């Protein structure tokens, strides 16, 4: 049996494009689904280490509580699909529970790389206001995470051009599907760093 667990971001819930379509792909590829729920998180966290820490602690507590009923041992494969602060929460959740996971890290934040990351792929846009491209490149390289960088995309992996956003999303989902299936995620105009 296979389980995919979704870890949303702050304000980026599972019905937004990256997580919505990743969830759909995982379900169609035979994964049961679970969602980490955080409850109320502090606002205005970008740029404030103190508020980011408070948001992380609240998100981790919410995730722990909402996933309490999961019978982890019955699954042969665990896939964690995380966005933004959820990338840090998913890493710490796996560590605390002693789980071996495969991971999709959508737009990791600076704090993500303070936690022990397991194998996976990551996506980052060069216009992400939460973290620099260099920080993400160095963090992913240090952890052996395959990184795909999209020029001009923001923290939601979007630009000001709606049609371009659809193309970006399509490319990300192709790579996501390939990773979920255990295939190499190659090609496209997104540069692997």
Classify domain 2-192 at the CATH superfamily level. Alpha/Beta hydrolase fold, catalytic domain (3.40.50.1820)
Please state, for a pLDDT cut of 90, what percent of the chain lies above it.
82
Question: Would the pLDDT of 192 be above 70?
Answer: no
Which residue did the predictor score with more confidence, 122 or 41? 122
The whole-number average pLDDT for the span 133-150 is 96
- The pLDDT of residue 189 is 37
Question: Would the pLDDT of 191 be above 70?
Answer: no
- The pLDDT of residue 175 is 97
How many angstroms separate the CA atoms of 116 and 122, rounded? 15
* Domain residue spans of the chain: 2-192
Please state, for a pLDDT cut of 70, what percent of the chain lies above it.
95
Q: What average pLDDT does the chain have? A: 92
Q: How buried is residue 143: exposed, middle or buried, by Cβ count under 10 Å (0-12/13-18/19+)?
A: buried
């Amino acid at each position: 049996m296979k389980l995919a667990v979704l870890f949303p971001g702050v304000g980026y819930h599972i019905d937004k494009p990256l997580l919505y379509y990743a969830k759909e792909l995982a379900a169609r590829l035979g994964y049961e689904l679970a969602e980490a729920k955080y409850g109320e998180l502090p606002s205005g966290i970008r740029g404030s280490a103190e508020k980011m820490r408070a948001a992380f602690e609240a998100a981790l507590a919410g995730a722990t509580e909402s996933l309490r009923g999961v019978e982890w041992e019955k699954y042969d494969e665990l896939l964690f699909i995380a966005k933004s602060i959820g990338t840090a929460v998913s890493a710490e959740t796996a560590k605390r529970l002693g789980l071996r996971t495969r991971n999709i890290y959508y737009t990791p934040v600076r704090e993500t790389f303070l936690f022990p990351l397991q194998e996976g792929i990551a996506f980052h846009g060069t216009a992400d206001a939460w973290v620099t491209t260099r920080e993400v490149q160095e963090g992913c390289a240090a952890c052996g995470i395959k990184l795909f960088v999209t020029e001009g995309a923001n923290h939601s992996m979007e630009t000001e051009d709606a049609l371009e956003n659809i193309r970006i999303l399509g490319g990300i989902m192709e790579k996501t599907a390939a990773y979920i299936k255990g295939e190499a995620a190659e090609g496209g105009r997104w540069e692997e760093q």
